[in-house]
């Protein structure tokens, strides 16, 4: 579980995050959504301690990262898996070597133990035939799966994903969403995803945090999203004609079930 308490972040006197308080539960897929400029990226980087908060607290299972020593932060980093936007794979390393990298950084495993663990997660993300290939030799969707495998190879307690579906076709995006949901349940991680993909919001959003201008405007889940009263949220999520029709259909069905 990650608890955020009155988190504020300013740059050169400009307040970007304006007192956000929320909780991300273990074993659930937590989504952060909002328009460009809403503070999503700054919020995610604050959780990862890339940015030091101006004030507030960020507690990882009760441990406040703001007050941690350097050694404590290093230990926490070993408990975090990160899927970067664009995958951020090492071009000169094979799929296998990319996935092994966190084990080299954070563990004292023998080479044989590392090899066994890498092959295990390669199987988990269905990349058995790609382990010797380089990133340039595989598709964008496969690269995302490599990035996910690298993020989970160390059995993280916390999994952060920044726009994991960016640049992918709808079918592959669904594959990635399903994989992230399955891994969250399987590994019992606290999974936090920064996304613009409204299909992800509708299908895997067990917890949705909507930010606007650095403020938490709404939080809930996919099941109550259609009936939310926040106009800014509705205009953002249901901006396309297809999603507007979907919301109308969902509301009609909801009313029918009550009669």
DSSP for 94-123, please give it: -HHHHHHHHHHHH----HHHHHHHHHHHHH
Neighbours of 133 (CB within 10 A): 15
**How many domains are contained in the chain?**
2
Give me the pLDDT at residue 129, please: 85
Q: Is the pLDDT of residue 188 over 80?
A: yes
Give me the pLDDT at residue 246, please: 55
Domain boundary, last residue among 130, 155, 180: 155
The C-alpha atoms of residue 225 and residue 201 are separated, in whole angstroms, by: 9
Give me the pLDDT at residue 80, please: 94
DSSP for 162-203, please give it: ESTTTT--HHHHHHHHHHHHHHHHHHT-EEEEE---HHHHHH
Per residue in 44-87, pLDDT (tens digit) is 999 999 999 999 999 999 999 999 999 999 889 889 999 988 88
| 140, 242: one domain | no
CA 145 to the chain's CA centroid: 14
| 161, 239: one domain | yes
The C-alpha atoms of residue 40 and residue 194 are separated, in whole angstroms, by: 7
8 Å CB contact between 159 and 184: yes
| 212, 98: one domain | no
| 165, 220: one domain | yes
| 182, 136: one domain | no
Domain that holds residue 95: 88-155
Give me the pLDDT at residue 228, please: 87
Least confident residue range of 58-72, 127-141, 142-156, 231-245: 231-245
Which domain CATH number covers 177?
Answer: 3.40.50.300
Domain boundary, last residue among 128, 155, 182: 155
Neighbours of 37 (CB within 10 A): 12
Per residue in 11-27, pLDDT (tens digit) is 999 999 999 999 999 99
* This prediction's pTM: 0.87
| 113, 207: one domain | no
Give me the pLDDT at residue 121, please: 92
Give me the pLDDT at residue 86, please: 81
């Amino acid at each position: 579980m990650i608890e955020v308490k009155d988190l504020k972040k300013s740059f050169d006197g400009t307040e970007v995050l304006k007192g956000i308080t929320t909780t991300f539960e273990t074993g659930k897929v937590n989504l952060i959504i909002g328009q460009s400029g809403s503070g999503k990226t700054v919020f995610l980087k604050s959780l990862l301690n890339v940015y030091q908060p101006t004030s507030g607290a960020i507690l990882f299972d009760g441990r406040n990262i703001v007050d941690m020593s350097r050694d404590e932060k290093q230990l926490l980093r070993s408990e975090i898996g990160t899927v970067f936007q664009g995958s951020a794979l090492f071009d000169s390393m094979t799929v296998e070597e990319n996935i092994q990298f966190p084990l080299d950084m954070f563990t004292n495993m023998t080479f044989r133990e590392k090899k066994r663990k890498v092959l295990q997660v390669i199987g988990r993300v269905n990349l058995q035939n790609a382990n010797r290939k380089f990133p340039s030799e595989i598709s964008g969707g496969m690269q995302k799966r490599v990035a996910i495998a690298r993020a989970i190879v160390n059995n993280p307690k916390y999994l952060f994903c920044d726009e994991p579906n960016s640049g992918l076709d709808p079918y592959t995006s669904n594959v990635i969403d399903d994989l992230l949901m399955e891994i969250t349940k399987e590994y019992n991680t606290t999974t936090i995803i920064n996304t613009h993909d409204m299909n992800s919001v509708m299908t895997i959003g067990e917890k949705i945090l909507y930010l606007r201008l650095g403020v938490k405007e709404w939080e809930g889940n996919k099941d109550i999203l259609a009936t939310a009263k926040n106009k800014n949220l509705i205009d953002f999520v249901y901006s396309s004609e297809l999603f507007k029709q979907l919301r109308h259909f969902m509301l009609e069905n909801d009313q029918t079930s009550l009669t």
